[in-house]
């Protein structure tokens, strides 16, 4: 135990605040990236980054939950139990807030990736439209010729049957 600001806090609680600061320092450069990726390789990197951010946020929440449980148990050994528990909850909320910020940023990246994929799909459809139209015209002509051929065969058969 060490004394911080006149209140006894466990090393674990102080370390949780250090963990928040460290994770924020790691996440800040990632969050600061505002330029949209240009190449497919950049988009794949952005996808991996978003996944890593989601994993990081999940790990932060998990670690905060474990640390909070330990801190809550340790609080029962102190004289000011409710004050200690309130501080532990406050620390956990701070970590959860940071994890939420990282999650939100990961979601923003994922949305931009999905938007990019929709734009690529639309552009591909636009680029393929003349070919699709040509294929459709060719198939329509083939069907018309088959129907015409079938109609001619039917007329020949009917004419042959009338003569017999």
Query: What would the pLDDT profile of 82-96 be if each residue is shown by its tens digit?
Result: 888 888 889 999 999
Termini Cα distance of the chain: 114
Range of the domain at 65: 2-126
More reliable by pLDDT, 34 or 59: 59
Q: How confident is the model at residue 80 (pLDDT cuts 50, 70, 90)?
A: confident
Give the model's pLDDT for residue 160. 83
* CA distance readout (Å), 24 to 59, 67, 102: 14, 18, 9
Q: How confident is the model at residue 122 (pLDDT cuts 50, 70, 90)?
A: very high
What mean pLDDT is predicted for residues 6-11? 51
pTM: 0.58
- Domain assignment present for residue 146? The answer is no
Give the model's pLDDT for residue 1. 45
Determine the Cα–Cα distance for residues 120 and 15; give it in Å rounded to an integer.
46
Non-local CB neighbours of 26 within 8 Å, separated by 6+ positions:
56
Phi-psi category of 5—alpha, beta or left, where left has phi over 0 and alpha has psi -120 to 50?
Answer: left
DSSP letter, residue 36: P
- Domain assignment present for residue 147? The answer is no
What mean pLDDT is predicted for residues 54-61? 93
- Domain assignment present for residue 143? The answer is no
- Domain assignment present for residue 144? The answer is no
- Domain assignment present for residue 163? The answer is no
Give the model's pLDDT for residue 78. 83
- Domain assignment present for residue 134? The answer is no
- Domain assignment present for residue 155? The answer is no
* Total count of domains within the chain: 1
Q: How confident is the model at residue 9 (pLDDT cuts 50, 70, 90)?
A: low
Give the model's pLDDT for residue 55. 94
Q: How confident is the model at residue 15 (pLDDT cuts 50, 70, 90)?
A: low
Q: Is 143 exposed, middle or buried (0-12, 13-18, 19+ CB in 10 A)?
A: exposed
- Domain assignment present for residue 141? The answer is no
Name the 3-class secondary structure at 76: coil
Give the pairing type, strands 7-9 and 2-4: antiparallel
- Give strand ranges (E) for the chain: 2-4, 7-9
Give the model's pLDDT for residue 6. 45
């Amino acid at each position: 135990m060490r004394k911080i600001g006149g209140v006894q806090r466990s090393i674990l609680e102080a370390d949780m605040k250090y963990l928040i600061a460290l994770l924020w320092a790691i996440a800040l450069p990632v969050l600061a990236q505002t330029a949209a990726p240009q190449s497919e390789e950049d988009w794949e990197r952005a996808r991996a980054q978003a996944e890593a951010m989601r994993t990081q946020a999940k790990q932060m929440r998990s670690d905060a939950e474990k640390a909070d449980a330990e801190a809550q148990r340790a609080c029962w050994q102190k004289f000011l139990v409710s004050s200690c528990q309130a501080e532990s909850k406050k620390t956990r909320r701070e970590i959860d807030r940071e994890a939420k910020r990282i999650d939100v940023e990961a979601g923003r990246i994922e949305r931009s990736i999905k938007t990019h994929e929709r734009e690529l799909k639309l552009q591909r459809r636009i680029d393929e439209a003349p070919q699709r139209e040509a294929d459709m015209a060719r198939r329509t002509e083939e069907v018309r010729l088959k129907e015409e051929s079938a109609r001619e065969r039917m007329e020949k058969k009917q004419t042959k049957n009338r003569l017999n």
